Amino acid sequence: MDKKSLRLKIKKLRDSMGKDQRELESKILCKKILQLDEYKNARKILSFMNFGSEVEIERLNEKILEENKILYLPRVEKDGTLSIVEYGKGFSIGSYGIREPIGDNYLGNLDLIITPGLAFDLEGNRLGYGKGYYDKLFLNNFSTLKIAPIFDIQLVESIPYEEHDIKIDMIITKNEILRIKKY
């Protein structure tokens, strides 16, 4: 299946999940992240603001702040790049209707990236929304641990990928934590 067809299929499946099921599974996923040693040892964490039928991550973001960790969130710039902004100066509504942080672009190191996406496979390949924002972000944060909390329906057998694509390190579903071996 090509990327465009897979995007449509997974988005439709995810959109068809009931609100109660999505909330329950999101709570389980966030709790699993909070229990990870990799999370406990991280100080500077890039997360995201969920949109539509994505995993509901707000409670995790609140917990990051409660634990005095530094929360960074993505912002899409007018030139099509993705900036990383420290949480704290409020939000504006971005070009895709997603709440985005106000503030300066952070250029330093991150300890952990919690990433959204439409589909993932057991090799750690990620299918995003097709704009390449996270691919560029991963290039600049190659060695940073990348975690994807996902609903079971987002885990697929295979995703078409390019040689330059950077894999996710860990996929978290309600039933398991998949640590991806990189060679």
Rounded to the nearest 10 degrees, the angle between the axes of helix 19-35 and helix 58-66 is: 30
- Residue 54 counted as an annotated binding residue: yes
- Residue 129 counted as an annotated binding residue: yes
CB 74 within 8 A of CB 5: no
- Residue 128 counted as an annotated binding residue: yes
- Residue 72 counted as an annotated binding residue: no
- Residue 40 counted as an annotated binding residue: no
- Residue 49 counted as an annotated binding residue: yes
- Residue 96 counted as an annotated binding residue: no
Give the sign of the dihedral formed by CA 17, CA 18, CA 21, CA 24.
positive
CB 141 within 8 A of CB 110: yes
- Residue 80 counted as an annotated binding residue: no
- Residue 134 counted as an annotated binding residue: yes
- Residue 117 counted as an annotated binding residue: no
- Residue 4 counted as an annotated binding residue: yes
Give the number of residues written for the chain: 183
- Residue 88 counted as an annotated binding residue: no
Query: Using CB atoms within 10 A of its CB, is residue 116 exposed (0-12), middle (13-18) or buried (19+)?
Result: buried
Q: Is 61 helix (H, G, I), strand (E, B) or coil?
A: helix
- Residue 3 counted as an annotated binding residue: yes
Distances (CA, A) of 176 to 13, 21, 150, 171: 20, 17, 11, 8
- Residue 5 counted as an annotated binding residue: yes
* Of 130, 136, 133, the residue nearest 159 (C-alpha): 130
Annotated binding-site residue numbers for substrate: 49, 54
Annotated binding-site residue numbers: 3-7, 49, 54, 126-134
Annotated binding-site residue numbers for ATP: 3-7, 126-134
